[in-house]
Copies of this chain bind each other. A is one copy, B any other.
Amino acid sequence: MFYLDHAAATPVSDKALAAMTPYFAADFFNPSAPYLPAVEVRKIYEAAKDDIASRFGGKGTDLIITAGATESINLAFTAVTSTDSNAVLISAVEHPSVIANAKKFPKFGTIKVDQYGQIILSDLAAKITPRTQLISVCLASSELGTLQPISEIAQLIRTERQRRLQAGDKTPIYLHCDASQGVGLVDIKVSRLGVDLLTINSGKIYGPKGIGALWHAHQVKLRPIVVGGGQEMGLRSGTENVPAVIGFAAAIKEADRHLASERKRLQKLRDLLRRELSNNPSIKFLGHPKCQLVNFLPISIPGLDAERLIFKLEQHEVYVSTGAACAARKGVKSPALSAIGLSTEQITGSLRLTLGKLNDEKTIKQVAKIILDVIVAEQERIK
């Protein structure tokens, strides 16, 4: 198997699975129960949350556990207190869940991106109005891997916040960053980025699926989406998913420990794959040439049909996707690829290759050859 879709899903690592295992059957207690073994489980659960939050420079008490990035994003959008239809700004390369949440504000603004998918700061600056309450920009686009200038965005927000303060305007303005892509590849610290809300998830960083978190700066007031027993400081009710949180913490710890070496290793592999694929000059490489996640290699072969390529590659056990998995399944034309100015033909011929733990130098060379052969065969076929 040649798995080149690490941005869609990753296998749970041995360490994460081993960390989770005792909490399925041995220490299965409900953390809200009053007796000692349950109280012990609560302590371990809270410690895991502290552990997760501390990797991003935050506190466990400011971390709300969710069922994944999508729920975290939904929760982040509850920070908007206004019903103004234009209270929200998002970049043109956001994940479908950010777009779906922005649509709750019918006149939400979209920040333009350049040909590499990086937002244009002057466009953002021009679009911030006194009514803007939330700006949601991903750490890295899930289709292009292009890194966004988060700390520069935060600077613009600080300026606007300062202006409001001086004008006696108490309307809040927050920066939410969806870091679904990038944990384990970029050193993410909330204070350095200057974000008020940070979405992270587990299922794409070798932790279990079905678990994620939203970190929020202490002053940000959120409203619960799911009410009930009052778990997660009243912001997300339901019996705590103890094993998954322990697994999530273990996965983040592992990612953190190997960040520098894994970055280096993946960059080398990605550059190798890029060099190999460059042998076919019709392959266009997408995303930012410098500011791109080191494991991303989105490409476009104009004139070819990506869905057909996926089918052909699958016969050689090469697994790649077209843009975001969610969008792909519904046959929707990618807004992100349109936003960077690709033609319909270029979008139709685009594939997203994302590397990770399941790849090494040997398999990359093999897979490059298969991809080149499949592309040539397709190009020959439609000549």
Contact = CB atoms under 8 A, between A and B. Distances in A.
Contact of A71 (B96, B101, B238, B313): B238
A33 B12 contact: no
Interface string A300-312: 0000000100100
Which of A34, A241, A321, A327 has most B Cβ within 10 Å?
A: A34
- Assembly stoichiometry (copies): 2
B28 A243 contact: no
Nearest to A210: B241
A210 B28 CA distance: 12
Nearest to A75: B226
A110 interface: no
Nearest to A244: B210
A97 B210 contact: no
B208 A24 contact: yes
A231 B324 CA distance: 13
Interface residues of A, number: 72
Nearest to A5: B33
Nearest to A207: B24
Interface in A1-26: 1, 5, 8-14, 17, 24-26
Interface string A188-228: 00000000000000010000111100000000000001111
A324 B33 CA distance: 9
Interface stretch (A62-70, A149-157, A260-268, A374-382): A62-70
Contacts of A67: 66-67, 71, 210, 226, 238, 241
Interface of A: 1, 5, 8-14, 17, 24-26, 28-30, 32-38, 66-71, 73-74, 95-97, 100-101, 104, 203, 208-211, 225-231, 237-244, 307, 310, 313-314, 319-322, 324-330
Given A37-B319, A67-B226, A104-B227, 16 more contacts: A5-B35, A8-B33, A9-B29, A11-B24, A30-B325, A32-B329, A34-B307, A34-B328, A68-B239, A68-B241, A70-B227, A74-B225, A100-B227, A203-B239, A209-B240, A209-B244
